[in-house]
Amino acid sequence: MPELPEVEVVRRGLERWTAGRTVEDVEVLHPRAVRRHLSGGGDFAARLRGLRFGTAMRRGKYLWVPLDEAESSLLGHLGMSGQLLVQPEEAVDEKHLRIRIRFDDALGTELRFVDQRTFGGLSLHGNTPDGLPDVIAHIARDPLDPAFDDTAFHLALRLRRTTVKRALLDQSLISGVGNIYADEALWRSKLHYERPTATLTRPRTAELLGHVRDVMREALDQGGTSFDSLYVNVNGESGYFDRSLDAYGREDEPCRRCGTPMRRRPWMNRSSYFCPRCQRPPRVS
């Protein structure tokens, strides 16, 4: 599942292989892939034609390409299974190819959006004055953004009446964290996922943020090294799927700190993995 590090790898790929190129033709092969483009696939294709790609940007799990004079942007979200691939034009279509973007140059490659589960998609939007696609103005800065405000984040946690994992996944508080990295950062912090955010001290919040950043940077380092070909790697399952995880997916396996079998608990229609000894539940939950 692509979270911040995976999306950043894709952003770098887009920057390298598509910046400065002008769109010649667009094919929308599945309407759900452009569902956030409210005026439909035909309008999406017509409006994108002739526009020039700028340098790809990212906030949290969203990425976007400023177009022409950056009055608008091509916005993308990978959902759970989305891929953006730069492929030779003659390459056989992927089974789940949803959108094809051809360029007007002679480089011989095209951009493809491939998505099995169709939770992701592409769309066109106007930009806010600070260059953000208007529909993601509510997305908070991510922890790798130099302008992320640690103090404001801590104060927001203190005011919320929620639990720490819900807060980590709330993209309006902090963006880019998904189920995998949330569990990893909580394990490193020895925090139970149901700990009320109002009980976190400033040092605990600082420690948690530090672990979020560490685990993301480590994943990014691994993903970055495998990205060296004519290929924007976005596959959440193949890229660096074998990255070492301490919590996620390790039910019944020994905790790497204390040896206690790790547990999985159903949580918000998904799962939380944690060590029952290192990550004690709060007294009142």
Partner DNA sequence: AGATCGCCCTGCTTGC
Partner DNA sequence: TGCAAGCAGGGCGATC
Q: By C-beta, is 45 or 182 nearer to DNA?
A: 182
Q: By C-beta, is 143 or 178 nearer to DNA?
A: 178
193 is written with which tokens?
């996922």
Report whether 27 contacts 244 (CB < 8 A).
no
- Rounded to an integer, what is the distance from CA 62 to the centroid of its chain? 6
Query: Does 166 interact with DNA (rule: CB under 7 A)?
Result: yes
| Rounded Cα distance, 231 and 15, in Å | 12
Q: How far is the CB of 117 from DNA (least distance, A)?
A: 4
3-class secondary structure, 57:
strand
| Rounded Cα distance, 24 and 18, in Å | 13
Geometric angle at alpha carbon 181, from 164 and 176, rounded to 5° = 85
Query: Does 242 interact with DNA (rule: CB under 7 A)?
Result: no
Between the alpha carbon of residue 283 and those of residues 107, 140, 192, 195, the distances in Å are 61, 31, 11, 9
Query: Does 37 interact with DNA (rule: CB under 7 A)?
Result: no
Query: Does 268 interact with DNA (rule: CB under 7 A)?
Result: yes
Query: Does 136 interact with DNA (rule: CB under 7 A)?
Result: yes
Q: By C-beta, is 96 or 263 nearer to DNA?
A: 96
Residue entry with tokens 């094809």: 100
Q: How far is the CB of 44 from DNA (least distance, A)?
A: 17
Between the alpha carbon of residue 49 and those of residues 46, 53, 138, the distances in Å are 5, 11, 28
Residue 160 is assigned to a ligand binding site = yes
Report whether 147 contacts 132 (CB < 8 A).
no
Query: Does 118 interact with DNA (rule: CB under 7 A)?
Result: yes
Query: Does 264 interact with DNA (rule: CB under 7 A)?
Result: yes
Q: By C-beta, is 30 or 256 nearer to DNA?
A: 30
**Active-site annotation, residues:** 2-3, 61, 270
Q: Report the residue from 47, 49, 52, 96 that binds DNA according to the rule CB under 7 A.
A: 96
Binding site for DNA (CB under 7 A): 1, 3, 32, 60-62, 77, 79-80, 95-96, 116-119, 135-136, 138, 160-163, 166, 169, 171, 178-180, 248, 264, 266, 268-271
